[in-house]
């Protein structure tokens, strides 16, 4: 009796990263924890396999680690350049704080990510206070991540810098890092006798 083939799904940790085939074509190298390895011309249905005279359906673990490392190094370098450029341009600007109940939908470059922020410690609020919990709304009782984003104005001259909070469990698996481009929607949290905050209700890759 032949062994049962692995069942694929979200649990098999499928990964893909861009690369270049020996034939000169642009491809995506894909693999998962079940051992499947293949190259495709583009991501998404119907996941067309890349086939040429150099095509090999399998990559060795060493080749995968090497290509993954090169891809990550390239991304880190690109992110660092974007972050430094954004920080340089926004130097001297003050953060945009909530002044009304209006939400903001924008896109920009992440300049800083601080994980595991305790909002009660940040605002010097006694934890467990029911009144403060009502004021904090969706931020109450949650471990948060602080994200700072530089947003370029519509006229490409004006710059704004936003600092907002998002529940850590929601952003944990996003893979965002400083220098990445991010689109987000933030809502104001107006707190009596405390600084107002921005709460991120939605975010996605730009």
Judgement on whether residues 42 and 121 belong to the same structural domain of the protein: no
Helix (H/G/I), strand (E/B), else coil: 87: helix
- Predicted confidence (pLDDT) per residue in 146-162, tens digit: 999 988 765 445 678 89
DSSP single-letter state for residue 35: S
Beta bridge partners of 38: 30
Residue 63 has pLDDT above 80, yes or no: no
Confidence of residue 36 (pLDDT cuts 50, 70, 90): confident
Judgement on whether residues 118 and 190 belong to the same structural domain of the protein: yes
Judgement on whether residues 200 and 129 belong to the same structural domain of the protein: yes
Judgement on whether residues 46 and 108 belong to the same structural domain of the protein: no
| Radius of gyration from C-alpha coordinates of the chain | 22
Judgement on whether residues 109 and 53 belong to the same structural domain of the protein: no
Question: How much is the mean pLDDT over the chain?
Answer: 77
Judgement on whether residues 119 and 198 belong to the same structural domain of the protein: yes
Judgement on whether residues 138 and 55 belong to the same structural domain of the protein: no
**Tokens 């390239």 -> residue:** 74
Judgement on whether residues 112 and 38 belong to the same structural domain of the protein: no
CB within 8 A of 65, min separation 6: which ones? none
Please indicate, yes or no, if residue 73 is contained in any of the structural domains.
no
Please indicate, yes or no, if residue 189 is contained in any of the structural domains.
yes
Percent of residues, the chain, with pLDDT higher than 90: 12
Task: Count up the domains in the chain and report the number.
Answer: 2
Q: Is the dihedral of CA 184, 190, 196, 197 positive or negative?
A: negative
Percent of residues, the chain, with pLDDT higher than 70: 72
Which CATH number characterizes residue 114's domain?
A: 2.40.50.140
Domain span at 170: 104-205
Please indicate, yes or no, if residue 82 is contained in any of the structural domains.
no
Confidence of residue 166 (pLDDT cuts 50, 70, 90): very high
Judgement on whether residues 182 and 122 belong to the same structural domain of the protein: yes
Confidence of residue 70 (pLDDT cuts 50, 70, 90): low
Domain boundary among 38, 59, 80: 59
């Amino acid at each position: 009796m032949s062994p049962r083939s692995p069942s694929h799904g979200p649990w098999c940790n499928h990964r893909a990263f861009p690369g270049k085939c020996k034939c000169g074509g642009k491809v995506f190298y894909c693999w998962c924890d079940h051992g499947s390895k293949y190259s495709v011309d583009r991501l998404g249905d119907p996941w067309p396999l890349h086939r040429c005279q150099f095509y090999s359906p399998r990559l060795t673990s060493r080749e995968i680690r090497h290509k993954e490392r090169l891809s990550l190094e390239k991304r880190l370098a690109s992110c660092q350049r974007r972050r430094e450029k954004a920080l340089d341009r926004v130097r001297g600007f003050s953060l945009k704080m909530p002044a009304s109940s209006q939400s903001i939908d924008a896109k920009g470059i992440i300049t800083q990510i601080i994980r595991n922020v305790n909002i009660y410690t940040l605002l010097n609020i006694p934890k467990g206070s029911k009144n403060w919990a009502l004021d904090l709304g969706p931020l109450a009782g949650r471990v948060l991540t602080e994200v700072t984003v530089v947003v370029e104005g519509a006229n490409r001259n004006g710059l704004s810098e936003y600092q907002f909070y998002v529940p850590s469990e929601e952003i944990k698996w996003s893979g965002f890092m400083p220098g990445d481009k991010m689109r987000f929607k933030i809502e104001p949290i107006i707190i009596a006798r405390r600084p107002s905050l921005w709460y991120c209700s939605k975010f996605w890759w730009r």
